[in-house]
Amino acid sequence: MMDSERLIRELFSFSNELHQKTVQAHQAHSSFIGRGKILCLLAKNEYIYQNQLAKLAKIKPGSLTQILEKMEREELIIRERDKNDRRLIYVKLSSAGRRQLEKNKEYHRDFQKFITAPLSSTDIEQFIKTLTILRGRFDEYIKQKEMGKR
């Protein structure tokens, strides 16, 4: 087997395994996966309309509503109707949401430190450069294939 074939096989295998095991680990040690992004967005925006949050999170408004309902039941967020326009709903983090966000951040810091511990800063920089090159080549390949279809 050629080195390039082995590299791509290992890369895809690692990517799939990383995703699956990260999801499992996050479910066990963190409150959730998709909702973590929402907590981060809410931390950056004191008050935000629900429709604005959907755009920032790149989530369909209906899907976001379901997520926010669960988060509200868990007391991670507070939703309030706009006093001037009852159709608009503000969303903000509750104190429990802020605590959960800190817990998530601590988990992620620990995870990153553990995973990268055997690597030197040079190793990390080289790996990032390699991934950047591969990502660029991947994007170029996809563009070429899309143009070939037209």
Q: Please compute the mean of the pLDDT values over residues 100-107 and round it to a whole number.
A: 90
93 has which bridge partners? 77
Report the alpha-carbon distance of residue 119 to residue 126 in Å, rounded. Answer: 11
Report the alpha-carbon distance of residue 16 to residue 22 in Å, rounded. Answer: 10
Report the alpha-carbon distance of residue 42 to residue 53 in Å, rounded. Answer: 8
Which amino acid, residue 28? Answer: A
Residue 28 pLDDT exceeds 70: no
Most confidently predicted of 44-48, 82-86, 128-132, 142-146: 128-132
Q: Where are the domains of the chain?
A: 1-30, 33-118, 120-150
Q: Please say whether the structural domain 33-118 has been given the CATH code 1.10.10.10.
A: yes
The answer to whether 68 touches 83, Cβ cutoff 8 Å, is no
Q: Read off the pTM.
A: 0.73
User: Nearest-CA neighbor of 80 among 60, 61, 72?
Assistant: 72
Phi, psi of 78 (to 5 degrees): -125, 130
> What percent of the chain stands above pLDDT 90?
69
Quote the pLDDT of residue 108.
Answer: 85
Which band of pLDDT confidence, cut at 50, 70 and 90, is reported for residue 29? low
Q: Please compute the mean of the pLDDT values over residues 93-122 and round it to a whole number.
A: 93
Q: Please compute the mean of the pLDDT values over residues 78-89 and round it to a whole number.
A: 92
Quote the pLDDT of residue 46.
Answer: 82
